[in-house]
Amino acid sequence: MNVCLINLLNSYIDSDVILKLREMGHHVEVRDLSALKTDDMYQNGKLQDEVEKTIRSCGCDAVYTSNFFPIVARVCYKLNKNYISWQYDTPPNLPTDQDMDYPTNRIFFFNAKDCEYYKGLGIENVYYLPLAVNCDRRKQYHRYDRQYDTQVSLVGQLYNSTFPMLRNLMSEKDKGYLDGLIEVQRNIYGVFLPDELLGEDIMSHINDTIDDGGVITKPISKKQLSYSIATQVTHFDRVLLLSLLSKRFQTILYTNNVTDGDKAVLDQIKLKNPIDYNTQMPLAFYNSRINLCPILRNNLYGIPLRALDVMSCQGLLFANYHCGLDDAFEDGKEIVMYHSAEEAVELVGYYLNNEELRMKIAQNGYVRVLEDYRYEDRLQEMLATI
């Protein structure tokens, strides 16, 4: 099959998709149009023209992108080309379901709940497909490197949420309600309360009483506020976890854009710059005894790429309780999950004092992703829908 892969996202997974499709005997043409991407997912005449020109010149059987792009879907429908997209962000950054129901689309979601949501809207060409990982690419980094040697590490952002800005515009009543909601959510894993508790009456009251001085030009949506709350709670999760762990264990945080306030709280942590995904991150995971993976709180079922990355490097995955991980892996045998920051501290101490068990769990996790999370299997499943 001839596949045209259009890069609009600079996705981490594109290089492995290209490599594995070619190994499977398919011809892959790669076109980088990321410079033309704008925030408007639906209207971008320059990008749409370039996508059409690209697809016509490739003579392809199918077009692939990481994440679904309505403009690409529109062009593929016009040209009667199969359009395959693999969503690796959750929730999808799609304000509407416009352009999703074309018969030429094959839309794959790594989060089963996202797939379920769009099926509920009557869109039939959506599929659940967990992400994959290329363990072969990581094998060369399964070696000791002193600069990454540590007891605990986290590779990733702390999340700078928009919630404080939105909160400042709200009435005292709405502030109190959302503050209480966040406080309860911080102590509960496995559910995301805003999905159930941000009803139409609450959203209407927020938008009717908001005092923004004309800054916000359209009503705050439930989806927008839910994501804002999710990032705020995740921010609290990560800062608290890192603060507690760094007081007892050697802890490294690889990130950027840490606020002065967070730096003051994380005064015991070793703060390092972001590292390269392909060449440095695998070394960091392999050389850290405990690899933290606090998952974005509104993602309850999609196993994030970062979790698979850790396990592919023979690192011990240490995550908050997550329904998707709980369904797919065995806690205490292939991964380790915690239900509170305090429990996390106890578990980290336990596994650092039980090196043989820690290494066994890391190895078991590695074997599982090596066998069950292969790109070849995922791509074959995609192509079988055409």
CA distance 155 to 66: 22
3-state class (DSSP) for residue 255: coil
State residue 350's pLDDT score: 98
Sign of the Cα pseudo-torsion (21, 23, 29, 30, in order): positive
State residue 305's pLDDT score: 97
377 Cβ neighbours under 8 A, 6+ residues apart = 132
Spatial contact of 297 and 233, defined as CB atoms under 8 Å apart: yes
State residue 296's pLDDT score: 97
Burial environment of residue 364 by CB neighbours within 10 A (0 to 12, 13 to 18, 19 or more): middle
* Tally of CA atoms within 13 A in the half-sphere of 136 that contains its CB: 7
State residue 211's pLDDT score: 82
State residue 217's pLDDT score: 65
State residue 257's pLDDT score: 87
State residue 71's pLDDT score: 97
- Buried b / exposed e over 70-99, threshold 16 CB at 10 Å, is bbbbbbbbeeebbbbbbbbbbbbebeeeeb
Q: Which domains does the chain have, with CATH numbers?
A: 2-129 (3.40.50.720), 137-372 (3.40.50.2000)
* Pairing of β 336-338 and β 288-293: unpaired
Which two tokens mark 349? 């101490």
- Give the H/E segment covering residue 172: helix 172-186
State residue 41's pLDDT score: 84
What residue has token string 């515009």? 169
Task: State CA 282 to chain mean position distance.
Answer: 18
User: Each residue's pLDDT tens digit in the chain (386 positions)?
Assistant: 999 999 999 999 999 999 999 999 999 999 999 999 988 889 999 999 999 999 999 999 999 999 999 999 999 999 999 999 999 899 998 989 999 999 999 999 999 999 999 999 999 999 999 999 999 999 999 999 999 999 999 999 999 999 999 999 999 999 999 999 999 999 999 999 999 999 999 999 999 998 877 667 679 999 999 999 999 999 999 999 999 999 999 999 999 989 999 999 999 999 999 999 999 999 999 999 999 999 999 999 999 999 999 999 999 999 999 999 999 999 999 999 999 999 999 999 999 999 999 999 999 999 999 999 999 999 999 999 99
State residue 95's pLDDT score: 87
DSSP string, 29-81: EEEE-GGG--S-SS--HHHHHHHHHHHHHHT-SEEEEES--HHHHHHHHHHT-
- The neighbour count for residue 112, using CB atoms within 10 Å, is 18
Alpha-carbon dihedral 37, 40, 41, 44, rounded to 10 degrees: -60
